[in-house]
Structure 1
Amino acid sequence: MIVELISTGSELLLGDTINTNVAWLARELNKLGYTVAFQTTIGDNPERMEACFKAAAKRADIVIATGGLGPTQGDITRPVLAKAMGVELELNKTAETFVKDFFRNKGWDMPEPSRREMLLPINSVALANSRGVAPGVAVQSEGTTYILLPGPPAEMKAVFDESVRPYLANHFGGQGVVLSHRYAVYGMRELALEAALMDLVKAQHNPTIAFLIKNGYIELRITASATTIEAAEAILAPWDGILKERLGNALGRRLEKSMLELVSEALLSTGATVATAESCTGGLVGKRLTELPGSSAYVQGGVISYSNDVKHKVLGVPQAELDEFGAVSEEVAKSMAMGTRKLLGTTYGVSTTGIAGPGGATPTKPVGLVYIGISGPKGTVAYKNEFIGDRDSIRESTAERALYFLYQTITEQA
């Protein structure tokens, strides 16, 4: 079945609020086998919103809108939908109970404007909101099912999980399963990846193949449609081997877990510790390494060695290397990784040195050139990387790739 997602609220169009609701809903609906074919964002303008509902009804079986269900005059989604359907609002007894119970349970007096939250289009089903006041709404009209959800993400998710899922199951039954296996591909450009899989891309049907550019890697997504999870898994099962054969070492990992989770598990399971020496990333790798609870078990500390003086005087990078090869070099990256490992007495040392831009480039060292050093019990290596993007994306890519190389080293040396 075809679904259109409508996000309401002028703050979304102005860029003041990031629309996380639509991404979450699309992901959950696709898991349930529904096809999210359209996504629309509309401001708090009744005429445009009404036109949006009418257009959605012509091309989608189910229209799901978020936002505009509160008690204020600016919360217009319910009355606009009623107008688009050609019906009136009515006092919905279930919605009345939900709203009154919310205030009664809190021990608060119900403000008079909250009565607006009880007025739903005729023949609507009120959907319980365990995280807020405004009930969700489900109503059918001329072959289209409309579902209205609160805008705050916590409330939206609660109404969807607790009320919309069973509503969809009761009215439409199972829609099958859409399941994806997601992989990180390191060290390949998008065109090179496509070329390596071109025959599979051209022949794709079920499963389908998609590439998504991320910081530090390309996400390769293989998506299967089937009647059950088991059937979808059977379709996807051969692809670990297919991709490994085609991509070799560039196929880095499955994305069910973050790179940080994998690094953390590897460090904890081996009892290893790590220290950082960062130039172009300015502490970003260290920040990543300390994001998970319990990271004090394996992170000893780090040095932000932005200047050559700090590289030399604190980390012990030989001045001759800095003079001959420059700070952005394989030799200096190795010495930085060894230096921080020795300084802080850790199992592993991780270093980053590069040109994040927008300035600082030379004809032989362009913006995006980064060396990542990894020092461990069995030796020290440095990896040359050439990233593209702005300063932030280059730094983010460097941090992601540094964790990846650290993980590779730990698992190879364990």
Structure 2
Amino acid sequence: MKAEIIAVGTELLLGQIVNTNAQFISRECAAQGIDMYFQTVVGDNEQRLLDSLRLAASRADVVICTGGLGPTQDDLTKDVLASLTGCNLVLHEPSMEAISAMFASRDIHMVESNRRQALMLDGSDPLHNETGLAVGNALTYEGTHFILLPGPPKEMKPMFTKYAVPWLKLRMNDEVPLYSKMLKFAGIGESNLEHQLIDLIQSQTDPTIAPYAKEGEVTIRLTTRAHSAAEGEMKLKATEDEIVNRLGEYLYAAQDVPIETVVLRLLKANKKTLAVAESCTGGLLSDLITTVPGSSESFLGGIIVYSNALKHGLLGVPMDILEGEGAPGAVSSETAVILAEQLLVRTGSDFGISVTGVAGPSPSEGKPVGLVYVGLAQKQAKTEVYTLQLSGNRESIKHRAAKRALYQLWKQLKEN
């Protein structure tokens, strides 16, 4: 069964709000075995909405609309679908009673336009709105199933899962749900990862293999159809095993979690602590770490040593290392080592990570944009320094440097 989402609202086109409804509906449809082929966003314009509905009906079995069910004149979804199908709009009495009762309970005068929220297409099935006022609609017209949902997510989500999905199930054949698994990688770029898997990607049938990148991480989504998670895991196993065989050194998780979550799990499991010293990342590494709930059990804290004065004053980097003719400079392996090692001395942490580099947009100390040194110190072990040459704009370089620092710590924890 093929589906299309039509999100209605000029505010979406203007970028004033983010269309999170489409993400939710697509995920829920996949779980039911409904293939999402298209997503459309259309403004509050009668003709353009009518054109969108006609096009969707010509290429999808299910058309799911969100938004445009409210009381104002620009809430047009039910009116336009009524025009397309030739159905009249009729009052859904239970919804009207609920609307009237709400206004009465608040001692607020109800203007006539609020009755629009209780209208539904004649012959359609009402979808109860547990958290709002506008009634949803579900109907079949010339072989296409139409679902009309309110725009606010707090209203749309329960209406879809509790009422629209059961309505659709009664009209579905034996669709088999999609089952997906996420493999998360760090320390390797998307193009390099794809190159090492290109034969698998080009010959894929079932399961499918889809790589996609975020800043500093790469995800592979494996997808098949399965009636249960156990069946899905069995169907994915051979492909997953081959990917792990080729890229296991970069695979930090077989679930959709960021690397900072996995690092903190390992620190906690090994009863180890971490402190960080940041220059070019400006606190981003600490922010990523502290975003994870419970990070305080293992993360002692971070020091932002952006200036040479603070590198010297707070963590003891000698000025003849930082400045002067022939000095290695703030962006150097020497500085990265001292920063990381001084964290162990001054905080008592088991691990110390330092990040110093050139985020751009201009070179610094005669060194190119994207040059970053990551220092990794640990008690009773030699301090390691990793030299990175990162690409992208300032924000990308900062994010990739922070993620790469976490990757190096993850590798060390796994080896230990």
Q: 2:398 aligns with which of 357, 377, 395?
A: 395
Partner of 2:384: 381
SS in 1 for 2:170: helix
Partner of 1:129: 129
**Residues 74, 375 of structure 1: alpha-carbon distance in 2 compared, 3 angstrom cutoff:** same
Number of residue equivalences: 411
Structure 1 stretch 246-255 or stretch 200-209: which is displaced more? 246-255
**Residues 173, 95 of structure 1: alpha-carbon distance in 2 compared, 3 angstrom cutoff:** farther
Q: Counterparts of 1:3-402 in structure 2 under 5 Å?
A: 3-97=3-97, 99-100=99-100, 109=108, 111-112=110-111, 113-172=113-172, 174-323=174-323, 324-360=327-363, 365-379=367-381, 380-402=383-405
1:220-274 deviation per Cα after TM superposition (whole angstroms, max 9, x unaligned)? 2221123443322211122332112212413332233332322232233333222
- Residue 56 of structure 1 and its aligned partner are, at CA, apart by 0.4
Answer whether contact 1:175 1:227 (CA < 8 A) is retained: no
- Residue 27 of structure 1 and its aligned partner are, at CA, apart by 2.0
Answer whether contact 1:7 1:40 (CA < 8 A) is retained: yes
Amino acid at match of 1:368: G
The CA distance in 2 between the partners of 1:253 and 1:149, in whole Å, is 36
Amino acid at match of 1:284: L
Amino acid at match of 2:253: R
**Residues 295, 195 of structure 1: alpha-carbon distance in 2 compared, 3 angstrom cutoff:** closer
Answer whether contact 1:98 1:135 (CA < 8 A) is retained: no
**Residues 256, 189 of structure 1: alpha-carbon distance in 2 compared, 3 angstrom cutoff:** closer
Structure 1 stretch 131-140 or stretch 248-257: which is displaced more? 248-257
**Residues 217, 39 of structure 1: alpha-carbon distance in 2 compared, 3 angstrom cutoff:** same
Answer whether contact 1:100 1:110 (CA < 8 A) is retained: no
The CA distance in 2 between the partners of 1:180 and 1:378, in whole Å, is 42
SS in 2 for 1:117: helix
The CA distance in 1 between the partners of 2:87 and 2:397, in whole Å, is 54
- Residue 206 of structure 1 and its aligned partner are, at CA, apart by 0.6
SS in 2 for 1:172: coil
**Structure 1: gaps of 5 or more residues:** none
The CA distance in 1 between the partners of 2:56 and 2:213, in whole Å, is 30
Structure 1 stretch 213-222 or stretch 37-46: which is displaced more? 213-222
SS in 2 for 1:90: strand
Answer whether contact 1:177 1:229 (CA < 8 A) is retained: no
1:73-125 deviation per Cα after TM superposition (whole angstroms, max 9, x unaligned)? 22111111211222221112343355456557x65657233211110111122
SS in 2 for 1:238: helix
**Structure 2: gaps of 5 or more residues:** none
Answer whether contact 1:177 1:232 (CA < 8 A) is retained: no
1:7-47 deviation per Cα after TM superposition (whole angstroms, max 9, x unaligned)? 11111111121222212222221222111111111011111
- Residue 146 of structure 1 and its aligned partner are, at CA, apart by 0.9
- Residue 362 of structure 1 and its aligned partner are, at CA, apart by 7.5
The CA distance in 1 between the partners of 2:191 and 2:257, in whole Å, is 26
The CA distance in 2 between the partners of 1:313 and 1:286, in whole Å, is 20
The CA distance in 2 between the partners of 1:95 and 1:263, in whole Å, is 51
1:56-77 deviation per Cα after TM superposition (whole angstroms, max 9, x unaligned)? 0000000111111112222111
The CA distance in 1 between the partners of 2:365 and 2:178, in whole Å, is 48
**Residues 183, 167 of structure 1: alpha-carbon distance in 2 compared, 3 angstrom cutoff:** same
SS in 2 for 1:314: helix
1:275-311 deviation per Cα after TM superposition (whole angstroms, max 9, x unaligned)? 1111111111112222233333222222111112211
1:335-364 deviation per Cα after TM superposition (whole angstroms, max 9, x unaligned)? 22222232222122122112222222577x
Answer whether contact 2:178 2:225 (CA < 8 A) is retained: yes
Structure 1 stretch 239-248 or stretch 119-128: which is displaced more? 239-248
Answer whether contact 2:187 2:407 (CA < 8 A) is retained: no
Alpha-carbon RMSD across the aligned residues, in angstroms, is: 2.3
The CA distance in 2 between the partners of 1:322 and 1:362, in whole Å, is 10
- Residue 312 of structure 1 and its aligned partner are, at CA, apart by 2.0
Identity of aligned residues (%): 39
The CA distance in 1 between the partners of 2:321 and 2:95, in whole Å, is 73
The CA distance in 2 between the partners of 1:57 and 1:31, in whole Å, is 22
The CA distance in 1 between the partners of 2:389 and 2:131, in whole Å, is 46
Amino acid at match of 2:10: S
Amino acid at match of 1:204: Q
- TM-score, normalization: structure 1? 0.92
Answer whether contact 2:253 2:262 (CA < 8 A) is retained: no
The CA distance in 2 between the partners of 1:111 and 1:386, in whole Å, is 64
The CA distance in 2 between the partners of 1:49 and 1:303, in whole Å, is 54
1:350-400 deviation per Cα after TM superposition (whole angstroms, max 9, x unaligned)? 22112222222577x432232222222243222233333222222222223
SS in 2 for 1:360: coil
1:173-224 deviation per Cα after TM superposition (whole angstroms, max 9, x unaligned)? 5521212221223233333222211211121001111111211022122211
